[in-house]
Amino acid sequence: MPRPDYSGNGFVNLIASLVEARGGAPRHPPLAALPVAELRDADNIVLLIVDGLGDRYLTANGGGGILAAHRRGAISAVFPSTTASAITTSYTGATPLEHGLTGWYTYFGQAGCVAAPLPFERRGDKLPLGIAPGRIFLQRSLFDTLATPGIVVTFRPIVDSSYNRHHCGSAERRAYDDLQGLVEQTAGAVRSGAHRKFVYAYWPIFDTLAHKHGVASAEVLAQFRAVDAAFGELLARLAGTGTLVVASADHGFIDSPPEESIELPPALAPLLRFPLCGERRVAFCHVHDTKLFIEKAKETLADRADVRPSRELWDEGWFGAGRAHPDFAERIGDVALLMRGRGTVKDWVAGESRHLHIGNHGGASEDEMRIPLVVAKT
C-alpha cells in the first residue's frame, strides 16, 4: 500500500503553497511541484477541487482534453483518502492528525455517538449532533489567516451547512446549482472586488455519480467530459485576469465487486463498543478487548484485510505530522481494518437502508491515493 506523502508531494503541501502565496502562515512544507513564487506572482488564485477525480482516471480518460493538457503530474492524497479528511485539510491546511476527521463516520465523545461530520448528523437516525460545531472542529479556517480576500464557491445544498459555515471562516460564500453555475460564479468571484484574491471552488457531482454507478461507468465518463469542458470554459472566461487556476481532487476511486463487499462477520460484531467508523475501505473499530478482536479478525477476515492496531498507523505517519487533535486516539479507535484489493467491509445500524455503493474510496490503493495536479495560467 502506498504511504501518503505529507513532506512535499501531497495535497497538504499544495494547500501550504496556496496559503503562503496569499500571505498566510503555512503549517507544512510547500508543494515541490508548485513553487510559491509562481503562485505569488498571480493576481488571483483559483483552487478547483473536483471531488473524486483520481489522477489515474484523468490520465486514462483525459487524452486530448483541457485538464490533461495542463496536468503537471500526480500528488498524494491524505489518509484516509476520503472527503471528510481531505476537504477539512483544504479548509484548514491541517493534516488529518491535526484536524481529527478520519472518515465519513467518526466517533465523537462530546456528542456520545458515531456521526457524519460533513452533514453534521448522527449515523443511522440522521438527527443533528446537538452540539456546537466548534466543539469537534478545532482548527481555524485558513481563510482567516490570509492577507487577501477569500471567496468559496460551492454547491447550493451545502453552502450554508454547519460544517461549511465553520470552515469557510471569514470567506464570502457563493452558491451554484449546476456545472454552468460553478463556472459563472467562479469567474464572477475572480472579477469582483479586490484586485488580488483567493477563490476556492468545489464540485461534488463526479463523486456522487462514481459512488452510484461506479467510476468505470458511462455516466461517470460523461460527467468527466462535462467537467473537462467546463474547465476549458472557465479558463476562457478568466482570460486576461492574471489568474492562476489550480485543479486537483480530494481522492480517487475504485469499484468494488459484490463478491469483495462483505458485512462485518458475526464473530466480530459483539466485540465492538460502537458501530464501525471511518470508511468501508478502512474501518476503525472501537472494541472491548483489542487482543481478542485482532485475533478473531485475522481468523475471520483471513486474506481480505490487514488487521492493525490503530496506534501503529498513527506512529507510522499515515495521518500526517503535527500536533494531534486532543481526541485523535478516540477517533481512530483501537483496531483498523485496511481492506485488501477492492474489498470493503460494512456493518448496519437502525435507520440505514441496505444499499452499497459500487464506487468506493478511503483506502490506500494507487487509484484512491493518487490525485492530479493541474495548473493553468490565464
Which tens digits make up the pLDDT trace of 128-176?
A: 999 999 999 999 999 999 999 999 999 999 999 999 999 999 999 999 9
Range scoring the smallest mean pLDDT among 9-18, 90-99, 348-357: 348-357
Distance, in Å, from the CA atom of 74 to the CA atom of 72, rounded to the nearest integer, reads: 7
Residue 195 pLDDT? 81
Which tens digits make up the pLDDT trace of 40-85?
A: 999 999 999 999 999 999 999 999 999 999 999 999 999 999 999 9
Grouping H, G, I as helix, E, B as strand and the rest as coil, residue 304 is helix
Residue 217 pLDDT? 98
Q: Are 171 and 158 in contact (CB under 8 A)?
A: no
Which is it for strands 370-377 and 359-360: parallel, antiparallel or unpaired?
A: unpaired
- Considering the four listed CATH numbers 3.30.2310, 3.40.50, 3.30.1360, 3.30.70, the one that applies to the domain covering 259-348 is 3.30.1360
Distance, in Å, from the CA atom of 337 to the CA atom of 194, rounded to the nearest integer, reads: 48
Residue 57 pLDDT? 98
Which tens digits make up the pLDDT trace of 215-265?
A: 999 999 999 999 999 999 999 999 999 999 999 999 999 999 999 999 999
Neighbours of 223 (CB within 10 A): 23
Give bridge partners of residue 301 from the DSSP assignment.
none
What the block records as the C-alpha cell of 17 is 503553497
Residue 13 pLDDT? 98
Query: Which CATH code fits 11-94+139-254+369-377?
Result: 3.40.720.10
Which tens digits make up the pLDDT trace of 303-324?
A: 999 999 999 999 999 999 999 9
Distance, in Å, from the CA atom of 186 to the CA atom of 201, rounded to the nearest integer, reads: 7
Q: Are 196 and 44 in contact (CB under 8 A)?
A: yes
Distance, in Å, from the CA atom of 153 to the CA atom of 24, rounded to the nearest integer, reads: 20
Angle at 275 between CA 271 and CA 280, to 5 degrees: 110
Asked if the model's pLDDT at residue 2 lies above 80, the reply is no
Quickly state the pLDDT bin for 30 (edges 50, 70, 90).
very high
Long-range contacts of 215-223 (CB under 8 A, 24+ apart): 215/52, 215/54, 215/57, 215/253, 215/254, 215/255, 215/359, 216/255, 217/358, 220/359, 221/61
Residue 355 pLDDT? 86
Distance, in Å, from the CA atom of 170 to the CA atom of 168, rounded to the nearest integer, reads: 6
Residue 366 pLDDT? 97
Q: Residue ranges per domain, the chain?
A: 11-94+139-254+369-377, 259-348
pTM (global) more than 0.85: yes
Q: Are 99 and 28 in contact (CB under 8 A)?
A: no
The b/e string for 191-211 (b: 16+ C-beta within 10 A; e otherwise) is: eeeeebbbbbbbbbbbbebbb
Which tens digits make up the pLDDT trace of 237-249?
A: 999 999 999 999 9
- Among 316, 333, 378, CA closest to 105: 333
Grouping H, G, I as helix, E, B as strand and the rest as coil, residue 121 is strand
End-to-end CA distance of the chain: 38
CA distances from 241 to 112, 154, 156, 168, 209 (A): 49, 21, 26, 24, 33
Which tens digits make up the pLDDT trace of 323-365?
A: 999 999 999 999 999 999 999 999 999 988 888 999 999 999 9
Residue 354 pLDDT? 85
Quickly state the pLDDT bin for 1 (edges 50, 70, 90).
low
